[in-house]
Amino acid sequence: MPFLELTLPCRESEQPRFEAALDDVGALAVTLIDADADTDNEHAILEPGVGETPLWQEIVLSALFPEDTDALVLLAALESFDPGLDWTQARFRKVEDQDWERAWMDQYEPLRFGARTWIVPWNQELPDEAGAHAAVVRLDPGLAFGSGTHPTTALCLQWLDGLAAAGELQGRRVLDFGCGSGILALAALKLGAADAVGVDNDPQAVIATADNAQRNGESERMAVYLPQDEPAATYPVVVANILASALIALADALAARVAPGGRIALSGILAGQEDEVLARYAQDFDELRADRLDDWMRVTGTRRG
């Protein structure tokens, strides 16, 4: 069915107030878009730290209401709920219903990383060029927090593919810290890892990872936890695709999860932040190096001891 859509610009500091007002008057859905982004240059929000909700400084906020909603009555209700906000820039239009997940998936193509790793939408065929030995992760973009399209995810997938090619992943256990969609853990399993553990502080990420593990037939070899529920363990392979600030704050905790001689990959690091990450992890890791893709870095190393 069609909807009435309200859009308006707002600042990051005002976003919670705008969203609270929209929820109060019955918004069916509220979405946030980077006001400075275009279709080819969207600013990414990566996995937040505990209690954090990072947003763009300038936001376009969009809300959907039932088609028969009276825009003038709605605007009056919003102004009454929070008269301190500027509602004069609100714009309304009728939008037709559509299968939003299908629309997104129609734009999402199979992607290759390294020699064997392929990320493929669940409803699309594997390209012929993939070959019989392809490591294929079937992903549902409607539930995914990471789909391989962002450079940080791509850097980690390439690293896992390289580990597998070097024989350093076969039969080993992998920790995906900040797992999001579970894409990295699932890729490791498809590349030969024995089992994998995903950890994320967002309950929705835990749900998405479990769903994608089931979709890929890996539920028995994939476990996923909130941080407080994660069992104590060490792993020969650890990958953490979060933010540089979180990687630095969690350096001791992540190092403790890597078995002696084990390998680690850290991403979510903007170019220019890698030196601080390298310095922090040099306390526990050898063979440290930083690799770049676009404006993002990946730091890798081997656990000392």
Known binding residues for S-adenosyl-L-methionine are 153, 178, 200, 241
CA distance 81 to 75: 10
The strands making up 111-113's β-sheet, listed across from edge to edge, are 111-113, 117-121, 135-139
CA distance 84 to 293: 44
What DSSP state is assigned to residue 57? Answer: S
Both tokens of 30, joined, read 């509220």
- N-terminal to C-terminal alpha carbon distance within the chain: 62
Both tokens of 179, joined, read 């797992």
Angle between helix axes 203-215 and 183-190 (nearest 10 degrees) is 30
Residues in binding site: 153, 178, 200, 241
Cβ contact 241:268 at 8 Å:
yes
CA distance 180 to 176: 9
CA distance 148 to 236: 23
Q: How many CA atoms lie within 13 A of 245 on its CB side?
A: 7
* Amino acid letter, 179: C
